[in-house]
Amino acid sequence: MSPWEMVVVALAGVAAGGINAVVGSGTLVTFPALLAAGLTPLSATITNSLGLVPGNLAGAVGYRRELRGLGPLVLRLLPASVLGALTGACLLLHLPAAAFGAVVPVLVALAVVLVATQPLIAGRLARRHGEGPPAGSSAGSARAEVPTGAGEPLPDALTRWRLAGLLLGALATGTYGGYFAASQGVLQIGVFGLLVRLPLQRLNAIKNVLTLAVNAVAAAAYVATAAQRIDWTAAGLVAAGSFAGAWAGARFGRRLPAVVLRAAVVVLGVVSLLVLVR
């Protein structure tokens, strides 16, 4: 890579790290930058997954306050996410891009719809099951400020069908993330937001941990089986940039009101859909 290409890739990593920490879809910044630097699509995908891991770690640590009380739930979802990551990595290395790529725009579109309509759907589900108003609504805004999750359903309070849905969602989004990481976070927030009544910032914290697990496992699989396809210089540039961007993004993103964060998820999801369709 030329010096200018190295600068572009590093800056793309900074932007992607910040976007991933706050919303997701940072891959839609780094992936085109890696292609512009001369990497093939497969090499860019593998290199990108490896490079984003430090940023995922910084984002997860930055949102540690919002994770209080959610450890048992995250631990239940991690195995499904890891299994999905391994499945997605296997698909990337052994299937034609068109076989899975045709489904990607549909998944992103579904995620955008889920995120946009989640308060309405969650409210109806809560009323149907005799629960209080969902977190993030006006009646639940006071609870949204409590970092320990007081007044919110803990993992043990989840019904069987909701827990099964969460596990299936973690598996599906992990598979998607292991194959092509773009908008993985949008999908996770959309699916999980329907099944567990938590403020959007706490859903984002769960998303950051699961995304870290998915990208780390997928990257390890790529290093073990396809190291020759990794551009280590580009991976290092993305890694340094994504770490810095995620650290700053987590500090800023945690202060965003739920309505602003939800709007950011929807906007980036729509942009992701347009890029993928093109």
3-state percent breakdown (helix, strand, coil) of the chain, nearest 5: 80, 0, 20
* Amino acid in position 171: L
What is the tally of structural domains in the chain? 1
DSSP labels, 131-148: --PPTTSSTTHHHHT-TT
Name the CA radius of gyration of the chain, rounded.
18
> Mean of the pLDDT values across residues 210-234?
92
Minimum mean pLDDT range among 18-27, 61-70, 164-173 = 18-27
Mean residue pLDDT of the chain comes to 79
pLDDT higher than 60, residue 98: yes
pLDDT recorded at residue 144? 36
Parent domain of 186: 3-277
pLDDT higher than 90, residue 236: yes
Residue pLDDT, tens place only, 24-35? 777 878 888 888
Task: Report how far residue 20's alpha carbon sits from residue 7's, in angstroms, rounded to the nearest whole number.
Answer: 20
Exposure on the CB side of residue 52, measured as CA atoms within 13 A: 39
> Mean of the pLDDT values across residues 234-247?
94
Task: Report how far residue 184's alpha carbon sits from residue 178's, in angstroms, rounded to the nearest whole number.
Answer: 9
> Mean of the pLDDT values across residues 211-220?
93
The share of the chain scoring above pLDDT 70, in percent, equals 77
pLDDT higher than 90, residue 277: no
> Mean of the pLDDT values across residues 260-274?
72
Residue pLDDT, tens place only, 46-58? 899 899 999 999 9
Exposure on the CB side of residue 74, measured as CA atoms within 13 A: 21
For 112, residues 6+ apart whose C-beta sits below 8 A from its C-beta are: 186, 190, 265, 266, 269, 270, 273
Residue pLDDT, tens place only, 172-208? 999 988 887 777 877 888 888 888 878 878 888 899 9
Confidence of residue 265 (pLDDT cuts 50, 70, 90): low
Per-residue tokens: 193: 């937001």
Report the SS3 class of residue 235: helix
Per-residue tokens: 172: 């599906």
**Residue length, the chain?**
278
pTM attached to this predicted model: 0.76
